[in-house]
Amino acid sequence: MAASDLERLYVHESVENVIPKRAFVEAFADLPIPAELVGDGEEYEETDAVVTYVPRPEFLDAGWVHCARAGYDEFDTDAYDAAGVPLTNSSGIHGATVGELAVGYMLSLARLLHVYRDHQNENEWYTPEYERPFTVENESLCVVGLGTLGEGIARRGDALGMDVVGVRRSDDPVPGVSELYDPDELHDAIAEARFVAIALPHNPATDGLFGTAEFESMREDAYLINVARGPIVDEDALVDAIDSGAIAGAALDVFETEPLPEESPLWDFEDVIISPHKGSATNRYHLDIADLVTENVDRYRSGEELRNRVA
C-alpha cells in the first residue's frame, strides 16, 4: 500500500469487553499520533484509525479499522473491501495465553485438580480411586488446527513430554508435532489421542465439525479441549457423548451460546471444566494488542502491508 497520512488513533469504548479501555489508550502514549477514547456517533475521516471490539457503520469512513479480537465474524468484510478501508484483527498474539490455558486444562483433568477443588469447597478430604489420576507425560495429544493457537498448544504439550500430532492443510513441519494429518483424515488423527484440542477458526467449513461421529471416533478415556470457537462443537452431541461414556470429559472456554445458559447439562459433569471465554485474559492483554496496533500504525504510515489484514 502507498504511504498514507494518519493523524489520529481512536479507541472505541467497546474494547472494554476484553481489556481496560483507559489503560489501553495510555499504552499508546509514545505513538507519534494522539490516541483518544470515543463512543458511538463519532465522525471519522481517512486520516483516522479506529480500534474497536464491535462494528459500527461510521467506521467505514475511517482510513483503517482494527478489530480488538481474533474473531471478526461480525464485521462485514465485503463492505470494507467496497469502501477501500483496511480491516485488521488481533490474531497471532494468543499462542502463549491460550496455550497455557489448554495445558492447565490437561493437567487438571489428568491430576484431578478441579475435583480436589470441588471437594475443598465442601471441606472434604477426598481420595480418588488409584487408577484415576495419570500423568500427561507420554500421553497423546491431537491439536486440530496449527495456527498461532494450535502451535502454542503443541509446543507446550511437547515440552511436557506428550506425543503431539496435528491436523492442518499444509504439510509444513511444526515444532513439537510428530505427525501431521490432512483435515480429511480427522477421524484417524483423533482416534488414538488422550486429548483432542480444537484450535480452528470458525467458518462454514468448521461449523459443527465435532459431532456424534467424531466423538465416537475418539477413545473412551479421551478428553476434548475447545479453546477456539463454540459453534465448532455440537454441544448436544458432546453432552450425549460424555453422558454415555463415549468420551471421558471436556474442558471448554467457548460455547455455542455465551454466557453458557444456566440450564446447560455441561455445568453438571464432574469431568467438564468450564471457563467463561477467558483464554486470552491476562493482566497484560491490553499491551499485547497495543503492540500489534503500534506495529500497524508504523506500517500504515510507511505504506507497508498491514499485519493481520482481513479485508
Average pLDDT estimate for 218-227: 98
pLDDT in tens, 39-64: 999 999 999 999 999 999 999 999 99
CA angle, residues 159, 190, 258, in degrees to nearest 5: 85
Q: Given pLDDT bands bounded at 50, 70 and 90, which one contains residue 140? A: very high
- The reply to whether 277 belongs to the active site is yes
Residue 299: helix, strand or coil by DSSP?
helix
Q: Which residue has the higher pLDDT, 293 or 4?
A: 293
* Choice among 26, 258, 270, 304 that is catalytic: 258
In angstroms, rounded to a whole number, what is the distance separating the alpha carbons of residues 44 and 54?
16
The secondary structure element, H or E, covering residue 250 is strand 249-252
Return the percentage of the chain with pLDDT > 90, whole number: 97
* Choice among 111, 119, 202, 277 that is catalytic: 277
pLDDT in tens, 81-130: 999 999 999 999 999 999 999 999 999 999 999 999 999 999 999 999 99
pLDDT at 2 over 90: no
Average pLDDT estimate for 231-252: 98
Average pLDDT estimate for 266-295: 97
Average pLDDT estimate for 267-293: 97
- The reply to whether 229 belongs to the active site is yes
Starting at the edge strand found earlier in the chain, the sheet holding 140-144 runs 179-181, 163-167, 140-144, 195-198, 223-226, 249-252, 272-274
pLDDT for res 297: 97
Average pLDDT estimate for 135-155: 97
pLDDT at 149 over 70: yes
pLDDT for res 71: 87
In angstroms, rounded to a whole number, what is the distance separating the alpha carbons of residues 286 and 300?
21
* Choice among 168, 194, 229, 286 that is catalytic: 229
Q: Given pLDDT bands bounded at 50, 70 and 90, which one contains residue 13? A: very high
Average pLDDT of the chain is: 97
In angstroms, rounded to a whole number, what is the distance separating the alpha carbons of residues 182 and 189?
9
Q: Given pLDDT bands bounded at 50, 70 and 90, which one contains residue 3? A: low
Average pLDDT estimate for 271-285: 96
CB 247 within 8 A of CB 218: yes
pLDDT at 209 over 70: yes
